[in-house]
Amino acid sequence: MVKLITSTQELLKTRSAETEVIGFVPTMGNLHAGHISLLEAALKDFDHVYFSIFVNPTQFGPNEDFNQYPRTLEKDLKLIEDLLINYPGKEVVVYSPKHPQEVYTDDIKNRVISVKGLKDIIEGAIRPGHFDGVATVVFRLFELVKPYKTYFGLKDYQQFLVIKRMIQDLNLPIMIQGMPIIREPTGLALSSRNQYLSPQQKEKSLLLNYGLKQIEDTLAGDKLNIPVARELITKLKNDCNWNYLELRDADTLDEDLSSSSKVTILGVYQLGTTRLLDNRQMELK
């Protein structure tokens, strides 16, 4: 069963009447198979799952597309209902507030949650304030939903680390699970942004996945290959479509890999106004 809740008051009333632990999947809607994979993981773990659909204004910069972000609630609910056919007896509560004021009430609208050390590098350097907006809304949703476990896709890897660090720093009693990237047959990571690509851009977007795989193959899990991998990154970045292409420690995003046992390769490839994110993680020996 799917239950739609559009007001915070109703959400609090519903949640306070429950005693069982729940899983939680926060999204901005416009769902695709990647989002549905998070919900499916939660449904395998819990009988009751909360799922938020909220386009969060605080994580959009002044020149970004908050007003243009697609709102597809009816289609999103149908996708959730279709998945639930495979999970008889289980329930998904969808919290989709009609107005930002439902989430950012007067008493907390000026509160900001900030994760120092992760928020201002790589993606955060390009989008100042973005990760403050992400951490703030997720913390607020955690306050309202009170989940036992939450699920995030690893496509937005830096975002995953920000939320994981926030949970640790604030000693929140919440487990976080990072879920594998779901890809198109071509290897392109699924994203709501993909719908904006022209056929020509869609073809060129394959350079993102191809570039990350080249670096991954060059590293081959061996620390001795780091200098060669970094030379390849420098060469690939001659293509001006890369917003960034980085090799970092997978836990801290530090550039110094001398003590790293696991690394991440992160890249954003931009085609027109569409920014495509992707990453890889790899153990090192």
Choose among 64, 161, 172: nearest CA to 116.
Answer: 161
Choose among 226, 221, 261: nearest CA to 246.
Answer: 226
| φ, ψ for residue 52, nearest 5 deg | -100, 140
CA distance readout (Å), 38 to 52, 87, 173, 179: 12, 14, 20, 7
Q: Any residues with CB less than 8 A from the CB of 60 and at least 6 apart, and which?
A: 66, 69, 133
Give the chain's end-to-end CA distance (angstroms, integer). 47
**Could you give the CA distance from residue 239 to residue 261 in angstroms, rounded to a whole number?**
30
Residue 284: beta bridge partners?
none
**Could you give the CA distance from residue 264 to residue 213 in angstroms, rounded to a whole number?**
12
**DSSP letter, residue 223:** G
**How many Cβ atoms sit within 10 Å of the Cβ of residue 66?**
14
**Could you give the CA distance from residue 154 to residue 38 in angstroms, rounded to a whole number?**
10
**Catalytic residue numbers?**
35
Contact between residue 152 and residue 160 where contact means Cβ atoms under 8 Å apart? yes
